[in-house]
Chains A and B, each alone.
Chain A
Amino acid sequence: MSGEEEEGVERTARRLLHAYPWRVRTELGDEIVATVLDTLPPGAERLPWRDRIDLVRGGIRTRWGRRLPLGAHLRYFFGARIDDCWRQWVLDDLEAPGLRRRLALRSVLSSVAFLAFVGLGGDGSWPLAGVVVVVAAAVGVWRAPAQRIVIARRQGLLGPAAEVGDEWVLAPERAALPNLPVARLAVAVGVPGALAGLAAVVAAASPVPIPALDQPYHSAEPVGLGLLAATAIPPLVLGVGGGALLAVNAGLAARRLAAAPAERPVGHRGATTVAAVVTALVVAVVLGYVAVMVLARLLPWEAGTVGAAVAPASVGLLVAADRLRVAGRRRGMPIGLWDLVPRFAPRRRVMAIHAGTAALLPGAEPVPDAPGHPRG
């Protein structure tokens, strides 16, 4: 068999190797291909169909043999800790390429299940359902790197130094972020509310109904105080939170502006000038208006009433979201609400890493002097 033909067979075999799980492909791929070449019938110019089918079947069998049982799979999907005997499976899931795709798919599946449970997706509400699914997929893709750490922590692959034992290796100090979920929730709830509020305020205040869609928000009569109060409680809650975020971020901005030039973050693309802040707000208002107009088509909202109560929170939340994003980029990791207020920021603490998961935290090294280290 000529070298070219052998290369062709090898290429075909490597393509078919994708039937095998990633871990097996990485560790045994070369060996399997070598065995395939060894077992070729004499005079064969291409990989026979029988061998191709055999390879694919072997790969499927291997995947089946290594599969997580349904119960464990569901628990893993919903973020519950599964048995330690499946630790290798978890590691493979987190280390194999394509994590973004897998997490996006899981996001989409959970959102579809949620929509089906809630009853959205029929009777013309499918545009909203479609938006939810697309946003879920985008969030899955976007948050994959951070989610990897979260999953590793949930499955017991990362832990506090107190649990160090024979198989644990200490990592360099990393900040712990216990309040991150709360901060994220605040931003996730606050930002859409802020956008809608700002846009609705503009729409309600404009003397001319802007001809975007066929729902005018220009109210001809004054809205009653009782109705306003009844519909404004959730927005008022948002408003209080937004106000707090605004205060915190004002302090952060003041601190940054007061810092010496050498202390300013490198590569920071934030809004430290008034002009930049105003530009960002104008853009946000326009986008928010469009978003409200689109959402009004999908939901029966009384945007004018809600928007007027949300308006005070809108400014604070928008600025806060931008600050969180910028400050997170500077630190190289997303930061939580309490991190913005130094008094409440959690102290750094040492984390222990299972020896097999060092790949999950690049730059992790054993710290020989730290207490509890197996050799220390």
Chain B
Amino acid sequence: MSGDGHDSSITRRDFLKRSAAVGVSIAAAGSAAYWLHNRVVSVEAQVTLPNFSIPALGPRMSITTGGDRAKTLRAGIDAIGGIESFVKSGDRVLLKVNAAFASPPLLGATTHPDVVAEMARLCSKAGAKEILVTDNPIYDPSSCFDISGIGDAARQAGAKVLLPKGGYFRTTTVEGARYLRDWPILHKPLDGVDKLIGISPIKHHQRAGASMSMKNWYGLLGGRRNKFHQDINGIITELAMMVRPTLVVLDGTAVMMSNGPTGGSLEDLKQADTMIVSTDQVAADAFGATLLGMTVAELPYIAGAAAAGPGTVDYETLNPKRISIN
């Protein structure tokens, strides 16, 4: 008994009751923390993206110069076999654009609406059953698709714009990847699609050095993806491992040479008037780097992607068709 007259001893029953109460509290707190931690909304079973490339066609590439995007795109695709080589009647086609910013087309920070419209028209001409357009910008998707002009251009060309929603994500694990393990991706637009075409501008990027075809797939990632900025070359390499597109279009009509990825001033842009179309996204980016005045060595993810999977840094081995449209 303590000096103030109180009995300070505790019975076994009291001890067990209190211990049980503490244990339940800890378990409840821990469960709540686990439930709240990095919650991903509406994530179902894992998916693996199919290979959308057409190996039978072999590697192909065209480099078309000219100031009219619709014309250079058409000529570029015709030069490597025409749209019918890539899109068959009845195909469902997804156009993955770069709609990362609510920025007007003039500023070159997003895929140009003229390219989206023309590609949608070409796919429609080839008999595509459905043409979808999507991206998962971090900023408000509706504003991004609206102000970039991509939304209107796609709809007017008969395509359907799919803005990301909570239920559109599924997790994926890329074999051999360090970062893309159990990671949510924007899967709904890809679900049941036969062909995947990436369309992106060529831009300087403050973090990555450049933003081109392979960086475009960043817009398929969900979750707190900005954490990958710590190893931007590593994540872009893994994106190239994750996505095997049918075709990539690199729009070098107005290249963002500095202050990327947002730009903002027309002085950031250089009129290079070049449209690249390729089945090989590594080769496309390797050539795109030259329009930025950069070398492949300055963009480690290009060599990384070549080492990790199909694709070559040496784009000349693809015997690219070079065309000029006046």
Question: Do they bind each other?
Answer: no
Residues of chain B whose beta carbon lies under 8 Å from any beta carbon of chain A: none
